[in-house]
């Protein structure tokens, strides 16, 4: 059994991108869906818990 891992770059800063947004291309349709959903008035559509409570996250 080897004591040390050989062949890996020691100067690698991060294994994954800093945020999930980096995984999605600029021309991906999910960006349009994201904007559309953000513009919906969820409370008017009957969804409960759309506004966070004063004490933190919604139920």
What is the pTM assigned to this prediction? Answer: 0.49
- The angle at the Cα of 26, spanning 19 to 47, to the nearest 5 degrees, equals 70
Q: Is residue 30 part of a domain?
A: yes
Q: Is residue 25 part of a domain?
A: yes
For 7-52, what is each residue's pLDDT tens digit?
Answer: 767 777 777 777 888 888 999 999 999 999 889 888 888 887 666 6
Q: Is residue 1 part of a domain?
A: no
Q: What are phi and psi of 32, to 5 degrees?
A: -65, -45
Read off the pLDDT band of 1 (50, 70, 90): low
**Which residues constitute the domain of residue 23?**
17-45
Q: Is residue 38 part of a domain?
A: yes
> How many domains does the structure of the chain reveal?
1
């Amino acid at each position: 059994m080897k004591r040390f891992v050989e062949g890996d770059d020691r100067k690698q800063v991060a294994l994954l991108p800093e945020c999930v947004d980096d995984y999605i291309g600029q021309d991906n349709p999910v960006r349009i869906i994201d904007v559309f959903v953000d513009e919906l008035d969820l409370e008017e559509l009957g969804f409960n818990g759309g506004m966070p409570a004063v004490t933190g996250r919604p139920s």
